[in-house]
Structures are given as C-alpha cells and as structure tokens.
Amino acid sequence: MSKLLRKPDAVEISPGVKILHEVTSENSPLEYVGLKVLEVEPGARYEENLGKWECGIVALTGKINVEADGERFENIGTRESVFEKKPTDSVYVSNDKSFRIEAATKARIILCYAPSEKQRPTRLIKAEENSVEHRGKYNNKRLVHNILPDSDPSANSLLLVEVYTESANWSSYPPHKHDQDNLPDESFLEETYYHEINPKQGFVFQRVYTDDRSLDETMTVENGDVVLVPAGYHPVAVPDGYESYYFNIMAGPKRLWKFYNEPAHEWILERK
C-alpha cells in the first residue's frame, strides 16, 4: 500500500460541508505543508482558527464568500470545472487569524497551509493577478497558473500553482527535485499534488523517488487523489485521451523555488 497516495474520503463535518482530504503533520511525513479539500453546499459555512499556520483559500470550482480579519470578499471563484482552464480567485490569511467561508453556489475548495510566525495582511488574490505560462515542448507541454509564486511577497512560506498537462504528455519532467537546502542551486520544499482528470474515469501515473531509491513509489493516480512529495523526483505521465490538472502546494524553511534536474535525464531539455 502506498504511503504517499491519498484517496478522497468524503466525511460530513457539519451540515452541507464535506471534507474529502486532510493532510497534516500528524498524519503524513510532511512538516511544512498541509491541506484540506472541502465540498460545500450553497449556504453552508466552514470556520477555522489558524494558530501558527498561514492559509491560502482557493476556490477550485463554484463561488464562495470569505470573511477574514474584518474583511469580506464576496462571490469569489470563476469556474464550474477546473478544466475550463482559466485562473480562479484565492484569499491569503496569515497566522493567528480566523476565517469563515460560505458557499454562494456548490463549491469545491482547497485550503493550503504552511507554518508561519510573522503576520501579513489578508489579501484577495484575483484571478487576473495569476500569471499564466506555457511550458515545455514536444511531449512535455503544460499550462501553468501561478497563484502565489516566490516572486510574490504576500506569504511567509506558501507557494501555490495550478498545472494542466495535455493528453499523452509528461509533467514535472524531466524529473526534478527540491529536497536539499543547497542554495543558490536547490531549495528544500515539501510538496503536495491534488489531481483531477478529464474525463473523470481516467488516470495518470506519478513516480516519487530519491537518488538512493530509499524512496521509490510509482502510483496510479485517479480523479480527486492527493500525492505527497516529502522528498525526491516526482514526474507525472498522462495517458492518451485524457487531460491532467493538478494543484501544487509547496513550502519549506526558505520561500524560494530552486529545483535540481536528475542528471541522467537532463539531456531531454537540449533536444532540437
């Protein structure tokens, strides 16, 4: 049984609110990254006090209202399916604060956590503020929405990004890692992948492995699954006929994304 693959398990925690995933430092090998995935019915509410964690509240689908730090953000969220491939709205809330979410429509929400000590302003991150990139060539093509990149100083630890990978393509490829505090060449960042697949009956493959192979898992990942990446390389392969979406949360002791490509496969980047 994989230690890194998490299947959704819908548990109703209050009327109209289901939690599909909860990853914490207590139930996973991760120290710097936590997540929750919620499904919320119209009019239902979810509340939380953060303690020493900062949180990114991301409206994956549907529309939500968010109250935090005396501010209210209404009708945030831009899409009914992640495969509309347009950026969505998010709210950043700092440590030692609380927030309340109310669903304006049926909504799926990802809550992204990282340890934090220094308070920062609560901030609405509008969809149009996400930078959009097209990366890769040949069979290594993907579309990227940068929600909280390391160039954005709004957060203390969190890095948030959405990635779409085309049918019969690879992503997070060539294999790269960021598990060593070896700046300026590599930073230590834990990571999680929340996956969706179009059509929903599809699957992708993800391998997570270290140089010494003390960690080496290849997983069949289905719609709604979460993969934990405490260390190592972590490529994703998408079969023909299906599209891949994943949402990445990264955090570590330094808020900087510097990755290291596996030397055996780096030659792929030099093809003409």
Number of domains in the chain: 1
Q: Which residues of 232-259 are buried (b: 16+ CB within 10 A; e: fewer)?
A: bbbbbbbeeebbbbbbbbbbbeebbbbe
Q: What is the DSSP letter of 233?
A: B
Q: Given a cut of 80, is residue 272 above it in pLDDT?
A: no
- Assess contact for 249 and 35: CB atoms under 8 A: yes
Which tens digits make up the pLDDT trace of 26-57?
999 999 999 999 999 999 999 999 999 999 99
Domain that holds residue 36: 5-270
- At CA 116, angle to CA 251 and CA 259, rounded to 5? 15
Q: For position 2, what pLDDT does the model report?
A: 85
Residue 12, domain CATH: 2.60.120.10
SS3 67: strand
Total residues belonging to the chain: 272
pLDDT interval class at 239 (50, 70, 90): very high
Residue 256 has pLDDT above 70, yes or no: yes
Instruction: Tell me the pLDDT tens digit for each residue of 65-90.
Output: 999 989 999 999 999 999 999 999 99
How far apart are the C-alpha atoms of 170 and 142, rounded to whole Å?
A: 8
Backbone angle region of 263, left / alpha / beta, with phi > 0 → left and psi within -120 to 50 → alpha: alpha
Identify the pLDDT of residue 241.
97
Q: Are the C-beta atoms of residues 157 and 249 closer than 8 Å to each other?
A: no
Q: Per-residue pLDDT for 104 more than 80?
A: yes
Model's pTM, two decimal places?
A: 0.97
> 72 CB contacts (<8 Å, ≥6 apart)?
65, 66
